[in-house]
A and B are shown apart, each in its own frame.
Chain A
Amino acid sequence: MKKFSNKYIFLYAAILVAVAAVTLTVVSVSLKPRQLRNQEIERKQMLLRAIGIEASAAEAEEQYGLNITEDTLWTDNDGVRQALPYYIFREGVVLPFRGTGLWGPIWGYIAVDEDLTVKGAVFDHKGETPGLGGEIAADWFAHQFVGKSLLEDGVLSPIVLKKHANPNSPHEVDAISGGTMTSDGVTQMLADGVESYRSLLEAFSNVSESEFSDDVDVEEYE
């Protein structure tokens, strides 16, 4: 067997790694715009699903433009101004939620009308256990939220996930068996989200529909 000096080995390793690094950097940078576009389309598809529109990747951009208007809520958080995005659709607003599950980030969108009744919801996750916590991304789970309410006697009240949830309660949905940590994460996320958007939700649920639609360009809904 050929004998290699230490100097050669170090040099060899360094050059190899440098070549690999340069290759990967070039590829990563050149593919970045496409990947970001894919993520953007996925986000738009999710938002559309929350308001009950199934759009393929190709239609998502167009449907999004037709049905959803983006807006920002400015809140004062201990003197720090915070920008919170939200989305306006024909019947109401869609709120984005972000939280932490068992293994990583979870997120979702909930669409509510002016009574703060849930019109649709969708959730997704980065790496919850498939079949257990990962079920939050499934349709059956999201579907449970439809018809629930964020309002109780005029006071904001977030939806909670519970074992043996009362199907008649407007604030309870069934938690996922085997996915307790993820379910708790969702409950926490919903509570935090409703709290952050408190001013928006309160203002929104009190204005009449006609006042509300003044803010929005009606033509966009055609």
Chain B
Amino acid sequence: MIREWICAILLVSGALFMFVAALGVVRFPDLFTRMHTATKSASFGSVLMLCAVAVYFGNAWVIFETILVIFFIFLTTPVGAHMIGRVAYLLGTPLWEGTVIDELQDRYHIRKRVLESGPHDPATQAENKSKMDTT
């Protein structure tokens, strides 16, 4: 009985986390904020629902398989999100107008693929802008 209640609570809360993720993907103003909600909240919701499966069955093989899926999700979601965010930034996806700070601005040299520290370089800025215009 107590196991059923735990399983039900895990299922419904995982589904609610995923609903929050979908709502954020629809409502947020910017690609990067959308990506933040879609990766973190959705992976946590699916992990909660898989935990519900492990609690419901409770045998060793199912628990092992659930841990495997959770491991895959927590291993692959950050890598995929990092790749999408990186390529979206390099393609010049517009940021939200309320963005406070953009630390990579004019510091990534697209053709040389070098990230420079230090003050902003106007030459790099001009070259990046001409590169963006051609795409």
Q: Do A and B come from one complex?
A: no
A interface with B by C-beta (< 8 Å)? none
